[in-house]
């Protein structure tokens, strides 16, 4: 797995990221724009030109800068390093939100996957909360997945799995805050702060409450589910549309989510009926967590995220309608542990991201 180490101010880290991954960022941007155009047509019946994708991103610039100046500085640095416009980098980072704005353009004059879990202390073998997920993207996105270790000058150190030119996606910081996400579609999407900017700000927090506020208080661009946990064993699930959120404090058992709305107010504005794969993956991860109650640990989590039951509707996805599991992450925030794999969880090695950041020759954990 490729791992980048970035240090300095947000602008300096962004510039280093953009320079080192310039060719990959440019190629990835082209793929993401094509995907946004295809999704707008498929789900919203909208004909969109490439300039239309960037135009929505341009309208997200001001709210993003205002809500998280440090994160916006890093986006600007990435753009400078990659010799691109900042709105292009913002479009790269915020694709799922931007394509929803394009699909249901009420505010304007292959659907991704992911299966996420929270396993509280009473269902884990060592009495520590575990969180994690698969990360399902277009199959041709796989070459652009990488790990990033950030050591900012005046914010928590972070480790995450993400893609070329992008802010944090699934990650852990040195204060023990863990954050991840799955995508949902709601028709109240609007130009605003896109999901990676929210997660990036959450990982800059030193308390769970501050991390939660980074999600709930934002002028969000689109719908997503977010899970957060901390070094004290607290865990929170938040299902958001662009304008509303529902927060669940997970104090016992397991709480899982895939890619359909579970909150009534969001179901009412869901952009598409729940897919068979989303329903099947949720049912399967629920069953796996129930079966493993009081025995679930990191090794069990790896196996669960690579589960192949239900064929095309399996938790790990192999080019299903152009979508594959591009990676997976398991985090144990009480002991500051994050491990990830690049590609299919059942077929690729898992790495301790902290160890990999310290030594690129580190051996896999499994």
User: Is 366 part of any domain?
Assistant: no
Ramachandran quadrant class, 260 (left: phi over 0; alpha: psi -120 to 50; beta: rest): beta
- 278 and 139 within one domain: yes
- 185 and 88 within one domain: no
Query: pLDDT grade, residue 272 (50/70/90)?
Result: confident
- 195 and 89 within one domain: no
Query: pLDDT grade, residue 113 (50/70/90)?
Result: confident
Residues 6+ apart with CB under 8 A from 41: 47, 48
Tokens 């900012």 map to which residue? 152
Residues 6+ apart with CB under 8 A from 216: 238, 240, 245, 247
User: Is 269 part of any domain?
Assistant: yes
Task: Tell me how far apart the alpha carbons of residues 363 and 365 are, in angstroms, rounded to a whole number.
Answer: 7
Query: pLDDT grade, residue 241 (50/70/90)?
Result: very high
Of 103, 132, 160, which one is at a domain's C-terminal end?
103
Nearest to 5 by CA among 360, 331, 349, 348: 360
At 217, is the secondary structure helix, strand, or coil? Answer: coil
Which pLDDT does position 53 carry in this prediction? 85
Residue 17, domain extent = 7-103
At 8, is the secondary structure helix, strand, or coil? Answer: strand
Tens digits of residue pLDDT in 330-361: 999 999 999 999 999 999 999 999 999 999 99
Tell me which DSSP letter residue 320 carries: B
Question: Do 249 and 233 form a contact (C-beta atoms < 8 A)?
Answer: no
The reported pTM is: 0.94
- Tokens in use for 4? 């980048």
User: Is 84 part of any domain?
Assistant: yes
Instruction: Please state the rounded mean pLDDT for residues 225-237.
Output: 98
The rounded Cα 296 to chain-centroid distance in angstroms is 23
- 60 and 121 within one domain: no
Averaged confidence pLDDT in the chain: 93
Q: Is the dihedral of CA 120, 206, 338, 126 positive or negative?
A: negative
User: Is 109 part of any domain?
Assistant: no
Which pLDDT does position 42 carry in this prediction? 64
CATH number at residue 236: 3.60.60.10
Which pLDDT does position 100 carry in this prediction? 84
Residues of the chain with pLDDT > 70, as a percent, come to 95
Which pLDDT does position 89 carry in this prediction? 97
Instruction: Please state the rounded mean pLDDT for residues 137-142.
Output: 91
Instruction: Please state the rounded mean pLDDT for residues 28-41.
Output: 81
């Amino acid at each position: 797995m490729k791992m980048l180490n970035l240090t300095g101010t947000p602008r300096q880290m962004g510039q280093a990221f953009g320079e080192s991954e310039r060719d990959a960022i440019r190629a990835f941007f082209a793929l993401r724009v094509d995907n946004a155009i295809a999704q707008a047509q498929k789900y919203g019946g909208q004909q969109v030109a490439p300039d239309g994708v960037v135009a929505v991103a341009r309208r997200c610039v001001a709210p993003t800068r205002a809500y998280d100046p440090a994160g916006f500085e890093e986006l600007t640095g990435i753009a400078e390093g990659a010799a691109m416009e900042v709105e292009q980098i913002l479009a790269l980072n915020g694709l799922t939100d931007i394509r929803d704005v394009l699909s249901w353009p009420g505010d304007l004059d292959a659907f991704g996957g992911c299966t996420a879990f929270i396993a509280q202390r009473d269902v884990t073998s060592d009495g520590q909360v575990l969180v994690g997920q698969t990360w399902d993207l277009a199959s041709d996105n796989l070459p652009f997945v990488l790990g990033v270790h950030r050591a900012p000058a005046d914010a928590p150190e972070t480790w995450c799995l993400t893609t070329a030119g992008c802010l944090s996606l699934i990650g852990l910081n040195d204060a023990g805050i863990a954050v991840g996400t799955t995508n949902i579609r709601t028709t109240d999407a609007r130009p605003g702060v896109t999901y990676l900017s929210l997660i990036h700000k959450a990982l800059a927090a030193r308390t769970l409450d501050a991390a939660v506020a980074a999600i709930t208080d934002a002028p969000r661009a689109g719908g997503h589910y977010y899970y957060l946990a901390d070094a004290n064993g607290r865990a929170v699930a938040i299902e958001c549309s662009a304008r509303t959120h529902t927060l669940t404090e997970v104090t016992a058992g397991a709480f899982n989510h895939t890619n359909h709305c579970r909150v009534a107010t969001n179901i009412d504005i869901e952009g598409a009926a729940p897919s068979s794969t989303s329903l099947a993956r949720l049912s399967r991860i629920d069953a796996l967590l129930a079966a493993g109650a009081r025995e679930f640990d990191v090794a069990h989590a790896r196996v669960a995220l690579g589960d192949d039951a239900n064929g095309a509707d399996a938790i790990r996805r192999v080019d299903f309608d152009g979508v594959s599991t591009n990676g997976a992450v398991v985090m144990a925030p009480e002991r500051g542990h994050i491990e990830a794999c690049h590609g299919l969880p059942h077929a690729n090695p898992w790495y301790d991201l902290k160890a990999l950041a310290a030594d690129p020759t580190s051996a896999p954990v499994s």
